[in-house]
A and B are shown apart, each in its own frame.
Chain A
Amino acid sequence: MQSLLLGISVVLVLVILFMIFKLTTLIGVAKGSKSDEDAGSNKVNAGLMLAFLIVSGIATVWSSVAWFKDYHIPIASEHGEVTDQLFWITMVITGIAFVITQILLFYFAFRYRHSKKSVAKYYPDNSKLELLWTTVPAIVLTILILYGLKVWNNVMGPAPEDAEVIEVMGAQFAWRFRYPGEDNELGRYDYRKIDGSNEFGMDLSDKNSFDDFNANELHLPKGKPVLLKIRARDVLHSVFLPQFRLKMDAVPGMPTQFWFVPTKTTAEMRQETNNPDFNYELACTEICGKGHFSMKKIVVVDEPADYEAWKKQQKTWLSLNPDYLSQVPEDLKEMAMISANIEDNESKDSSL
């Protein structure tokens, strides 16, 4: 990569030096006849147009090939395969338009540089030509729209019933995860119940919250649909999982969601990338304050069996914070202690 950077820098410097050289040689001419000066620099500029086209064309092709593995990050979700395919199809179609128009632009600039002998063609319009380049882009765009909307509707469609529900909450400047526990139902929350321990503001009058547990890493099962329920506690944040091609804002007061199917475990990805230290990461992509750039969490994709085992090991939030049993209505206390897996004597201790 450095060699190319060096190359581009050298070209840049050469262009500058050439211009300055041209400038000094033409200072003499400038004092003489005016038309000579114009004709001279006109040719130089025309030549530079062509040179720019060629050099930048080479640089573009070279960089897009050489850096491919740097910018093409692996895909780890089902819908990611589909959106990436759309991405590359769009890249080819627009790439063709880009190359043709840029070549015409710079080539025409070079080819039709001013000459005393030539006369410009008086060519104010041509309806057929204009109709052509109205309809062709319109048709191509229609195809891209239809294809894009099909993909979009599939990705954004309702999550399957059996999806694993996980809550992701953004707060300055960390992500927090809440799992629904055995019942696969997240308990209700109320932001007014948030405090130092009850970071999610769990409403303990809802029996679904008894077996909920928090985690410091986002664990996901491979091959199963996962529904992320996303919210924010203070300002906007945005959940970004680059390898899963997943992004969704976290909005205070308005829960959002995104469902997807992870396709590669962390271990598989370590093999694929030849990087034994590889980890999926969760990043924030909505400006949220001075720690915005550091809102990172590790994401672990497990084989379904490992995932279930991991879930089993997790302690429910209520069992880790038995003080909060006092917020549970009397008639649900027993149920809470069973769901939350709290030993009897512990609860007695805490209620004292």
Chain B
Amino acid sequence: MSTAHIELTDVMHDDHGHHDQSFISKYIFSTDHKTIAKQFLISGIFWALIGGILSLIFRLQLGFPNMDMSWLQPFLGHWINVDPTSGVGKLDTEFYLALVTMHGTIMVFFVLTAGLSGTFSNFLIPLQIGARDMASGFMNMLSYWFFFASSVIMFSSMFISTGPAAGGWVIYPPLSALPQAISGSGLGMTLWLASMALFIVSTLLGGINYIATVINLRTDGMSFSKLPLTIWAFFLTAVIGLLSFPVLLSAALLLILDRSFGTSFYLSEIYIGGEALPNLGGSPILYQHLFWFLGHPEVYIVLLPSLGITSEIISTNSRKPIFGYRAMIGSMMGIAVLSFVVWAHHMFVSGLNPFVGSIFVLLTLIIAVPSAIKAFNYITTLWKGNIVFTPAMLFSIGLVSFFIAGGITGIFLGNAALDIQLHDTYFVVAHFHLVMGSAAFFGMVAGVYHWFPKMFGRMMDRKLGYIHFWVSFIGIYSVFFPMHYIGIAGFPRRYYSFTNFDAFSSFTDLNAFISIAAGVTFLAQLLFVFNFFYSMFKGKRATANPWKSNTLEWTTPINPGHGNWPGPIPKVYRWPYDYSKPPTEEYWEKMTEEEKENWPDFIPQTVPYSETPESNLPHEQELAEKEKKEDKGIEIE
């Protein structure tokens, strides 16, 4: 098998006039979408671990407020204040805010945007639409290296003496604009803004490429109505990103001007540090509008790719077509459009005009309809399936569960009258960690388990995958489900401790439990990291199509080279969801028992209708006739 593969790649290289690549051009400054995808994935895993560790530190503080943290001093230095007489170490209250800020920034942008879209859009778009590579391999490479530079800056901001940005991941001014308000708004915020500017460049370079590739480089026969839902999801995600990220850049730019060049876009009538600032006429609300104009679509930027991945995995492993393919596309389009007109539901109690608020109530709750359709369609896909529980399938089912649990609480928060009480409480924390954090994260992990064989030619260990899933799934629910109670009780987010308030003095045991559950969940992720790197080198060798899937990527060699297919790119004839397609009644009667037993439960996209007369539906039979004519026509020419 391996010799055959080498021959194939050699042929491919001849085809394109490639020469042996040096280590640097193959693994570092690579323009191959598959390598770039792996670069994004490994960077994403790195960031996920950092983001996870940060959350463990602040969970220690929240779960065990009386704990002596002096043992953390070797790592955190002056952010642990050690009492000189008792020797008891306490987490610095401002560093606590830096932790939640960096946790949010890292998870939302570096893990669930770059790590998720960067990995799977890059990896799957060319492979699933039948393209040799991205429209621009060079821009794709730049996209990764801008992300890398952005990562280096963000990472280094955690080690400066004034600390990283600490004004929350939304960096609302004036807090983020004034170093005298919080020390993280000094150099830390400057680095945050510089890093995010590069990050946005990276996202835009990637996004343009994804869109151009999907529109222009689909193989013969791969019409939009035959695209796998993964590609639909990545495509729409890229469109959303392309339209919304520039707005974040402008928001950041105005903030930079306010911070360093004395403008007053967001600042007005501020008295701080014994001094009245000269800024007049700016509006902090303006920043919130600009931020959430990206910020809300951003939720779907992290969620849609995961929903696409899940659609593919649930269909494959239920051995059933995805239910309501067109409705799935329609609802994703609906979500993509609506995601731009719901942003102000983050601002119901910001001082926004209540009438404007009521319009956003209406628009926000409308977006629940396409989301509901998606959830019902996933469930119906499972119905009467023949479900194979691969680790990827388990994580996909987990995603659907989180998506429902977190989506439903959105109906509370989107209703302005309820948001008065729930806004900025743990109810919100529970809501978005389930619906966007955990759901998107599960989609990403599911994708890694599912496409690992295509990425590395080896299988990840199933059993470790099962343990990883069950501990993560139960762990995540144990962390975030109880937070709803804490939120309904009114506990505010971003509180270092609750002991100052009688109103927030309950639930100390529950907070400890949540912290323990978070720790267990994090440990399970180490299992995944081990499985990932171990299987990369020592995993069982993959077969060509380990999940018996219909999509094009499984028609490439086990280790596809640069250019993906050694020969010509295969032609596509059908949609990607012909799983368990039965023979026609007429044919069924003629079949022998053996034929019935060996009836294949999947038909890849590359199989023409003319080869499957037994299972063609009437309108497909017409297509088969057409195919035959076309093939003849080509021969004549």
Contacts and interface: CB of A to CB of B under 8 A. Distances in A.
Interface of A: 1-2, 5, 8-9, 11-12, 15-16, 19-20, 22-23, 26, 38, 41-42, 44-46, 48-49, 52, 56, 60, 63-64, 67, 70-73, 82-83, 86-87, 90-91, 94, 97-98, 101-102, 104-106, 108-109, 112-115, 118-126, 129-130, 133-134, 137-138, 141, 144-145, 148-149, 151-153, 155-157, 171-172, 191-192, 194, 196, 201, 233-236, 238, 240, 242-243, 245-249, 251-254, 256, 277-279, 281, 283-294, 296
Contacts of A114: 319, 386-389
A234 B397 contact: no
Pairs A-B, 5 closest by C-beta atoms = A253-B268, A156-B354, A242-B490, A45-B389, A290-B94
B29 interface: no
A291 B418 contact: no
A38 B174 CA distance: 57
B492 A144 contact: no
Interface string B603-619: 00000000000000000
B418 A148 contact: yes
B470 A19 contact: yes
Interface stretch (B127-135, B270-278, B565-573): B270-278
A108 B178 CA distance: 54
Contacts of B268: 252-254
Given A9-B516, A26-B463, A253-B280, 10 more contacts: A19-B470, A94-B409, A105-B400, A106-B401, A121-B320, A144-B365, A152-B357, A240-B492, A293-B495, A293-B497
Contacts of B498: 293
Nearest to B101: A287
Interface string B531-562: 00000000000000000000000000000000
Chain B: number of interface residues, binned into ranges: 35 or more
Contacts of B341: none
Contact of A291 (B93, B358, B412, B501): B93
5 contacts: A83-B418, A112-B382, A191-B270, A236-B174, A293-B500
| Residue of B389, B404, B467, B582 with highest tally of chain A CB at under 10 A | B389
B417 interface: yes
Main secondary structure, interface of A, reads: helix
B276 A108 contact: no
B452 interface: no
Contacts of A118: 386
Contact of A102 (B318, B350, B404, B496): B404
A52 B473 contact: yes
B42 interface: no
Interface in B317-362: 318-327, 349-351, 354, 357-358, 361-362
Contacts of A101: 375-376, 379, 404
| Residue of B420, B496, B498 with highest tally of chain A CB at under 10 A | B420
Interface string B475-497: 10110011001101110111111
B271 A233 contact: yes
B435 to A, nearest CB: 13
Contact of B417 (A49, A71, A148): A148
Interface stretch (B69-77, B217-225, B282-290): B282-290
B488 A249 contact: no
A120 B471 contact: no
B325 A124 contact: yes
Contact of B321 (A63, A97, A113, A123): A123
Interface of B: 92-94, 97, 167-168, 172, 174-175, 178, 181-182, 267-272, 274, 276, 280-285, 318-327, 349-351, 354, 357-358, 361-362, 365-366, 368-369, 372-373, 375-380, 382-389, 394, 397, 400-401, 404-405, 408-409, 411-412, 415-418, 420-421, 423-425, 462-463, 466-467, 470-471, 473-475, 477-478, 481-482, 485-486, 488-490, 492-498, 500-504, 506-507, 509-510, 513, 516-517, 520, 577, 579-582, 599, 601
A113 B389 contact: yes
A104 B492 CA distance: 34
Contacts of B462: 41
Given A20-B467, A242-B503, A291-B93, A83 B496 contact: no
Nearest to B599: A119
A291 B389 CA distance: 49
A137 B377 CA distance: 14
A120 B323 contact: no
B496 to A, nearest CB: 4
Contacts of A288: 175, 181
Contacts, number: 370
Contacts of B494: 287, 292-293
| Residue of A137, A151, A192 with highest tally of chain B CB at under 10 A | A137
Given A122-B581, A294-B500, A153 B379 contact: no
Nearest to A156: B354
A232 B349 CA distance: 14
A252 B411 contact: no
A124 B323 contact: yes
A26 to B, nearest CB: 7
B401 A253 contact: no
Contacts of B369: 134, 137-138, 141
Contact of A172 (B272, B349, B417, B471): B272
A120 B467 contact: no
A119 B285 contact: no
Contact of A296 (B377, B416, B501): B501
B489 A71 contact: yes
A45 B513 contact: no
B97 A290 contact: yes
B485 A67 contact: yes
Nearest to A135: B369
Nearest to A131: B327
Contact of A15 (B267, B327, B386, B470): B470
Contact of B416 (A108, A152, A192): A152
Contacts of A56: 477
Nearest to A93: B411
Contacts of A121: 320, 383-385, 580
B418 A90 contact: yes
A236 B463 contact: no
A102 B500 contact: no
Contacts of A113: 387, 389
Contact of B276 (A60, A70, A123, A194): A194
Contacts of A254: 268, 283-285, 351
B181 A112 contact: no
Given A63-B482, A134-B373, A152-B358, A234 B168 contact: no
Contacts of B271: 171, 191, 194, 201, 233-234
A120 B478 contact: no
A190 B119 CA distance: 53
Contact of B379 (A63, A67, A104, A192): A104
B317 to A, nearest CB: 9
A93 B226 CA distance: 37
B535 to A, nearest CB: 15
Contacts of B93: 290-291, 293
A133 B579 contact: no
